[in-house]
Each structure stands twice: as C-alpha cells, then as structure tokens.
Amino acid sequence: MNLFGFLLGIATLFIIGLGFIWVIRGERYFGYLWWPYVMAAGALCILGSLFMLNNWASSLIGALGASLIWGSTELKEQAVRGEIGWYPFRAKKILPPFEDAIKKWKAPSL
Amino acid sequence: MAINLLGFASAFATFLGVWLGHVAVRKIERETTNLWIPALIAFTMGFGFEVASFFVSSLYLSAMCGILGVTLLWDSFEFYRQQKRIKHGHAPANPKNPRHAKILAEYPVATIFDWLDRNPRGMAYSPTELASIKENEK
C-alpha cells in the first residue's frame, strides 16, 4: 500500500481551498493588477520544487505553485465580482509596482 | 545535481484538476439535462483514482492519482454548486437546456447574461447602473 498519493491529494485539497480565500481577500485589498507577481511566484515555486530532494516538500511546493498560477488567472474575474456587488468591495487598493505597465497587458482569465 | 520531478508532476496534476473543475464543470453543467450522470461519473473516477493511488508503486503516479482523484471527487459536488450559481444568476443559463429553461422560468434572478464577461473598472457599480446593464442585455 502506498499512502503517498492519497495524503498528498488531501493536502492539495487544502492548498486549493486556501486559493479560494486568498483570491477573494487578496483581490479586495490589493486588486487584480498583482496577477503577474502571483503568477511569477507560482512559477518560482514549481521551479524551486525541482531542487527539493525531500519528496513531500517538492510535491507540496509544486502543488502550491500550480494553485498560485491558477489563482493569478482568477483575480480579474474576482475584481468584477466585487465591483458588481457579489463580494464586499474596497475602492482603496494597495497597488503593485509598475501598475501602469501591467494595466496595458491583458489579464489572463481561464 | 539531482532534480526531483515529483513537484512538477504534482503541479501538473493540480493545474489539470483545477482546470477540469472550473472549465469542464461549467461546460458540462451547461449542456447536461440530468446532472446526476456527470456527477456520478466524476465521483466514480475520483474514487477510482484514489484507489489506484494506493496500489501503484511509482511515487509519480501515486501523487498524480491522489491529486486528480480528490479534485474529481470535489467536482462531483461542484456540478450542483454550479447549478446553484445559475439559479442565483451568477452564471449564465443555457435556454436550450430544458433543466436551465426550467430554472429561468422559476427563478427571477436567473439570466442568460454573463455578468463576469467584462473588465474591472476600479469602481463599484451602483444599483441603477446594474439595472441598466441588465436592461440593455434583454
């Protein structure tokens, strides 16, 4: 019997569940323009997981990285949800560095 | 230097699982008349992947089965949560689907309009603006 995959699946469920929370809260206080930073953080996690010799550390950081990349593509829709009143809206956002440049890019949404 | 691909395999399975959970669930819920059929298929597949994760000796396969399995088990409930979004008007109904047509008739806030198909503007919409957006869509 190999319990690794099952336990990792349960852990990943929590990582994805956490994604719902940070996407909602993060968008409310920071705004969707942070998406390139979140996406880069996710990519760095996946890259970093390659160099972790411990199997649990590598898998969990990899799953976290994928969840961050996915979350970065959810931020734009979450911003709209706030603006149309489905979630509490906060006008004052803590904006990211280079927000003007990021505004010119098309925010991903899957 | 040794490279551990387990994290990459986990990331791939997680992304695929979440993608299926979002995009495929939405699409299948939109087209299916009997929701219990895809829900049962997702549940059975999820359960099967979990069982498989116990018995495969490869850590890579075990990890991917374990992750895909839980996301599929989640998806079997997500079909019903998506139906709830249709009832609340938070996701667009498909009038060609008899199940959705019934929802459109029974729930006044249900709509074929996709509220999320717009760019953020940095400002909350007033109730008057929201009403006029919905009016223009009809």
Residue A24 in any domain: the answer is yes
Q: Is the pLDDT of residue B10 over 80?
A: yes
Give percent above pLDDT 90 in chain A. Answer: 96
**What's the pLDDT at B22?**
92
Domain boundaries, chain B: 6-137
A94 touches chain B (CB under 8 A): no
Residue A95 in any domain: the answer is yes
Say which residue the tokens 């803590």 belong to: A94
CB B94 within 8 A of CB B100: yes
B123 touches chain A (CB under 8 A): yes
Identify which of A21, A3, A4 has the alpha carbon closest to the alpha carbon of residue A60: A4
Residue A74 in any domain: the answer is yes
**What's the pLDDT at A49?**
97
Residue A11 in any domain: the answer is yes
Confidence of residue B134 (pLDDT cuts 50, 70, 90): confident
Say which residue the tokens 């939109």 belong to: B30
Q: Which of A1, A2, A78, A87 to mutate to test the interface with B (most CBs of B within 10 A)?
A: A2
Residue B84: how many CB atoms within 10 A of its CB?
A: 11
A20 secondary structure, DSSP code: H
Chain B residue at shortest CA distance from A49:
B7
pLDDT in tens, B51-109: 999 999 999 999 999 999 999 999 999 999 999 999 999 999 999 999 999 999 999 99
Confidence of residue B138 (pLDDT cuts 50, 70, 90): low
How many CA atoms within 13 Å lie on the side-chain side of B123?
5
Average pLDDT (A19-45) is: 97
pTM confidence score:
0.94
Residue A99 in any domain: the answer is yes
Confidence of residue A58 (pLDDT cuts 50, 70, 90): very high
A21 touches chain B (CB under 8 A): no
The CA distance from A67 to A53, in Å, is: 21
A67 touches chain B (CB under 8 A): yes
Indicate the number of domains in chain A: 1
Residue A110 in any domain: the answer is no
CB B75 within 8 A of CB B66: no
Q: How confident is the prediction for chain A on average, in pLDDT?
A: 96
**What's the pLDDT at A70?**
97
A21 is in which domain, residue-wise? 4-104
Average pLDDT (A28-55) is: 97
With CB atoms and an 8 Å threshold, state whether A12 touches B118.
no
Confidence of residue B137 (pLDDT cuts 50, 70, 90): confident
Residue A76 in any domain: the answer is yes
Identify which of B9, B58, B2, B57 has the alpha carbon closest to the alpha carbon of residue A53: B2
